[in-house]
Chain A
Amino acid sequence: MTAAEIVFVLLGVVALAAAVLVVTTRQLVRAALYLVLSFGAIAACFLVLTAELVAWVQVLIYVGAVVVLLLFGIMLTRAPIGPTSDLDSRNRPAAIVVAVATAGVLVTVLVRGFGDAYVDLGEPSTGSASGIGANIFRYWVLPFEILSVLLLAALVGAIVLSRTDIGPPKDGDG
């Protein structure tokens, strides 16, 4: 086992354990914090894979923005701090069946398909900001431009949803 592999296994265990805790914990706020841990471990995995820029964007967007927003969401919906008993629904057996089936299929297929694949991490890194930037603006300009519409739509949508002056029809027959 190489050093990279040992590091990866440790990170993977952290990411998985944190993910399991997100799904099982009885405390909302802790779920968000475990999510940070899981995202952080995955960001480190990206670094091991030499995808530098993706790793840093992962930290910035997921840890920095998404989880913070989720924490705000938890606070603003006045979710109870401390254990809540009714966080789980009753379809646990179905979920377990789905879990076993999904994991079984994915793991067998991936192991059979990529069991003997090998990557040399010694190769010069291509995941730098300049490499990604050049790739996006040479080959993926169109989706990049569509993203601008998406972000603007998200902005306007969120603002519209927080307006309070929308009311029911003024009289019975509108």
Chain B
Amino acid sequence: MVQTVDYLAIGPPLILALSALAALFLRHAAFVGLVLAGAGEVVLLTGGPRRTFCVDTSCSFVVDDFTLLLQTVMLIAGLVVLLMAQGEIRDTRLPAGEFHFLILAALSGAMTLAAGRDLVTLVVSLEVVSLPVFALVALRRYDGRSSEAGVKMFLVSVVSTAVMLFGISLVYGATGSLFLDRIGAVLATPSPLESVAGVGVVLVLAGFGFKVSAVPFHFWAPDTYQGSPVAVAGFLSVISKAAGFAGLVLVLVIAFEPFARVWGPLVAVLAAVSMTAGNLVALRQRTAIRLLAWSSIAQAGYMLAPLGAAGGGAPLDDLAAATIGYVAIYALMNIGVFATISVVGWIGRYGGGELDDYRGLARTHPLVAVALAFFLACLAGLPPGLAGLFAKIVVFQGTILGGYGWLAVIMAGNTVIGLFYYLAWATRLFAPLPDGVRFGRIARPVGVAIGIAAVGTAVMSVVPQLVLGISTGG
């Protein structure tokens, strides 16, 4: 028996991988590849779910609403990342071909991850997401911080992979299978191996904790964001994180569903600690990039919260849908912030500059300032940033649905803290322009990048039902 391959289903990641290869030699191949992959997504969106690489009834690669949502968001974010990188590629003579190749390779790994339905595929594609990023983070060779950030992220990531793999090996031992649906079926029946599987589940959870940079597995994130090119920091904060959450949701909801009482409370604690620590430290930050790093740790906490409520017996699909909806909206608004700060980078050092450098931006670049303010309002969950508000409401609903009132209270407190620092940043934009400050011209690719993110976020603000309420569906 030979597995049949549905080339349409694997089309988008396949196109990305091929165009990554072409991008090594051809200047615009990366963008052509992204557009083609996007076209593939559109074709897939019009059809029903597709399954391929099947063994009996279990499939390794499934394209359903969950997959399509995450893949589309990742594609848009990837396009924004590539566009905003053009300025830095030109100024610091980064090798464009290799840069495009590494970003596209990681992106195709992320898209495969969203479709993967067995542990081997998940692990290998998670590695495809991380490995190119190690190289990208350490790319600014002239800057000591860059290599250091690379080493730090590399060591943390390989350790977390090893921990996750040990967990997977225990789960495999307890269930005898590597397909998520079969693991779920085996775990649903009582067995003497439950404690082995339980330890495995906890180790896998810890491994994913590193990937989504939840506290206490977060310490690599701020340094890595600061040390890497802004576009790469954006990739880490949005696409890597979305990929991590895709894997986490798939594993928890399909394979480990019967163990919700084990991992639910753990995830709830991770969520509460992440959002609180992230927000409190973000309050004290003076540079844009570190503020974003800590805020993305806090945001990871919000995304984990509905999953944390799984122990309460609420339908897991609804909770997963809340998490995924938040991830999708967060991806668009956060990549927008990264695109705008890559504009301001040039006035100070590279890397987004100090928060005070943003004073007066609205006087010279009103559109950019309004876009940044809009993204920040979204992240804070405040009108007119309706997308962020809807995402927050869904997450609150999920948490309360699961009967975790205390978590919802912590989240409410954190939202208030978040309001403070996001708005403090946004008000600086509209302050008078300090004497002698001059903002430069905005490169066209970066402008396009900001535009794409702004349109995406605006669409989410008007029709949030596009992304909310979409679950894995098994």
Question: Pick the contact of A166 from B5, B93, B120 — CB < 8 Å?
Answer: B93
B105 touches A113 (CB 8 A): no
B95 at interface, CB cutoff 8 A: yes
Q: Which residues of B contact A138 (CB under 8 A)?
A: 1-3, 55
Residue from the set B101, B109, B124, B195 with the largest chain A CB neighbour count within 10 Å: B124
Question: Pick the contact of A113 from B95, B139, B195, B347 — CB < 8 Å?
Answer: B195
A113 touches B60 (CB 8 A): no
Q: Which residues of A contact B345 (CB under 8 A)?
A: 174
A154 at interface, CB cutoff 8 A: yes
Q: Which residues of B contact A174 (CB under 8 A)?
A: 87, 91-92, 345-346, 350
Question: Pick the contact of A153 from B1, B105, B346 — CB < 8 Å?
Answer: B105
Q: Which residue of A lies closest to B166 (CB)?
A: A106
Question: Pick the contact of A165 from B3, B93, B127, B346 — CB < 8 Å?
Answer: B93
Q: Which residues of A contact B213 (CB under 8 A)?
A: none
Q: Taking chain A's interface residues, is the majority helix, strand, or loop, or is none over half, making it mixed?
A: helix
**CB-CB under 8 A for A156 and B101, given A142-B61, A164-B141, A168-B92:** yes
B125 touches A146 (CB 8 A): yes
Q: Which residue of B lies closest to A108 (CB)?
A: B195
**CB-CB under 8 A for A142 and B105, given A112-B195, A173-B347:** no
A165 to B89, CA, bound (A): 12
B95 touches A149 (CB 8 A): no
Q: Which residues of A contact B1 (CB under 8 A)?
A: 138
B112 at interface, CB cutoff 8 A: yes
Min CB gap A147→B, angstroms: 6
Min CB gap B386→A, angstroms: 35
A1 to B87, CA, bound (A): 69
Give the size category of A's interface with B: 35 or more
A167 touches B92 (CB 8 A): yes
A161 at interface, CB cutoff 8 A: yes
B63 at interface, CB cutoff 8 A: no
Q: Which residue of B lies closest to A144 (CB)?
A: B124
A163 to B134, CA, bound (A): 15
Contact with A along B121-152 (1 / 0, CB 8 A): 10011011001101110111111000000000
**CB-CB under 8 A for A160 and B93, given A139-B3, A174-B350:** no
A94 to B273, CA, bound (A): 21
**CB-CB under 8 A for A160 and B98, given A165-B93, A166-B140, A173-B440:** yes
A153 to B21, CA, bound (A): 10
List which B79-106 residues lie within 8 A (CB) of chain A.
87, 91-95, 98-99, 101-102, 105-106
Residue from the set A139, A163, A164 with the largest chain B CB neighbour count within 10 Å: A139
List which A101-151 residues lie within 8 A (CB) of chain B.
105-106, 109-110, 112-114, 137-143, 146-147, 149-150
B105 touches A166 (CB 8 A): no
List which A22-41 residues lie within 8 A (CB) of chain B.
none
B253 at interface, CB cutoff 8 A: no
A113 touches B140 (CB 8 A): no
Question: Pick the contact of B121 from A105, A142, A157 — CB < 8 Å?
Answer: A142
B131 touches A168 (CB 8 A): no
Q: Which residue of A lies closest to B347 (CB)?
A: A173
B134 touches A157 (CB 8 A): yes
30 A/B residue pairs, CB under 8 Å, sorted by A: A109-B195, A113-B174, A137-B2, A139-B3, A141-B3, A141-B5, A142-B60, A142-B61, A142-B116, A146-B121, A149-B20, A149-B105, A149-B108, A150-B128, A153-B135, A156-B98, A156-B105, A157-B132, A159-B98, A160-B95, A160-B99, A160-B135, A161-B138, A166-B93, A166-B139, A166-B142, A168-B142, A173-B346, A174-B87, A174-B345
Which residues does B use to contact A, with CB under 8 Å? 1-3, 5, 17, 20-21, 24, 53, 55, 60-61, 87, 91-95, 98-99, 101-102, 105-106, 108-109, 112, 116, 120-121, 124-125, 127-128, 131-132, 134-136, 138-143, 173-174, 192-193, 195-196, 198-199, 345-347, 350, 440
Complex A-B, nearest 3 residue pairs according to Cβ-Cβ distance, in ascending order: A157-B135, A113-B196, A153-B105
